[in-house]
Amino acid sequence: MKIEVNQAVQEYPAPNGDGINRVLDGIDLTLDGGINMLLGPSGCGKSTLLKLMGGVRPLGVVSPTSGEVLIDGKPATGSHDDVVMVFQRYLNRPDLTVRENVAFPFRFKLWRDKVPVAERNERVDEMLEAVGLADKGSHRPSQLSGGQNQRVALARALVLRPKILLADEPFGALDAQIRAEMQQLLIDLIDKYPTNVVFVTHDITEALLLGDRVIVLSTPPANVADDIAIAEPRPRSENWLRSTEATRLSDRIIDLLRGHGPGTGGQVRVTV
């Protein structure tokens, strides 16, 4: 399922109420499959762009201010049945078991009507197995680690078999070892359950490890500063990350971001 962003501009009232704060400045993108990494310094508008794609519209603000976002050729003016979002905060219900959390989307009428009960149970079992939590179905989120809770969030998203998965720095709060495990899990899950992924990060190493494309946003007001295709097959090894090709790509991204308004705020990260 294709995402098209055509000359999207997003403006908000300035915090002091005086003037307009332009966040996105004429974004043009077409995303039609694979893992698309949306990279840029913190505060550059990555999450704003992701929310536009997901049909998340803040109250009292025209969104987008101008331009359009299309999902399969239709305007994304609200939530879409085939689009699911995952956030850094995994938002698991503390009063529900792991299994109930994964099955939670089926409580909503749309999915309750669309997916028969027997298939729902099969999908939940399949996802718990896929994320390595088949033996934790009766546990509560408080009994799990942060990485395990993020696995629950991924399972809850993919149990719907979405055609588009929007991920807003889902591994940003995890330590390096758990983040590496979650990155590999995401690759395995996307291979098994193909979907069009847009993954927000400010970690250059993560972008190079996961992405079929790395779309680099400038500092605000953001536009597309670069769009890099990566042909190296996944999983990508530590040796490849130290290769001439990967080093060249990393340096290209760092130089590009440094060239877009040093001192204007925001950081990128390189994992070592």
Query: What's the average model confidence in pLDDT over 47-74?
Result: 92
* Residue at which a domain ends, from 143, 161, 179: 161
The CA distance from 222 to 227, in Å, is 14
* Residue at which a domain ends, from 161, 182, 211: 161
Decide: 78 and 57 in contact? Cβ < 8 Å.
Answer: yes
The CA distance from 15 to 10, in Å, is 15
In a domain, 18, yes or no: no
- Please report the pLDDT score of residue 125 as a whole number: 97
Indicate if the pLDDT at residue 115 is higher than 50: yes
Tens digits of per-residue pLDDT, 234-253?
989 999 999 999 999 999 99
Chain mean pLDDT for the chain:
91
- Please report the pLDDT score of residue 270 as a whole number: 54
The CA distance from 133 to 151, in Å, is 8
Tens digits of per-residue pLDDT, 159-177?
999 999 999 999 988 889 9
Instruction: Say which residue the tokens 């699911």 belong to.
Output: 84
Report the number of distinct structural domains present in the chain. Answer: 2
Strand ordering across the sheet containing 196-201? 83-87, 164-168, 196-201, 35-39, 213-217, 224-229
* Residue at which a domain ends, from 107, 138, 161: 161
> Where does the pLDDT of residue 91 fall: very low under 50, low under 70, confident under 90, or very high at 90 and above?
confident
Do 105 and 173 fall within a single domain?
A: no
- Paired with 164 in beta bridges are 83, 196
The CA distance from 141 to 92, in Å, is 7
The proportion of the chain whose per-residue pLDDT surpasses 90, expressed as a percent, equals 76
Tens digits of per-residue pLDDT, 177-234?
999 999 999 999 999 999 999 999 989 999 999 999 999 999 889 999 999 999 999 9
Do 126 and 244 fall within a single domain?
A: no
- Paired with 214 in beta bridges are 37, 228
In a domain, 101, yes or no: yes
Separation in Å, CA 72 to CA 31, 80, 165, 214? 10, 11, 14, 22
Indicate if the pLDDT at residue 80 is higher than 90: no
- Please report the pLDDT score of residue 269 as a whole number: 57
Range of the domain at 94: 84-161
Taking alpha carbons only, the member of 85, 22, 11 closest to residue 50 is: 85
Separation in Å, CA 76 to CA 67, 71, 72, 85, 147? 11, 6, 9, 14, 32
The CA distance from 162 to 147, in Å, is 22
Do 49 and 180 fall within a single domain?
A: yes
Highest averaged pLDDT of the listed ranges 54-58, 60-64, 68-72, 254-258? 68-72
Separation in Å, CA 124 to CA 110, 174, 186? 17, 25, 17
Q: What's the CATH code of the domain at 219?
A: 3.40.50.300
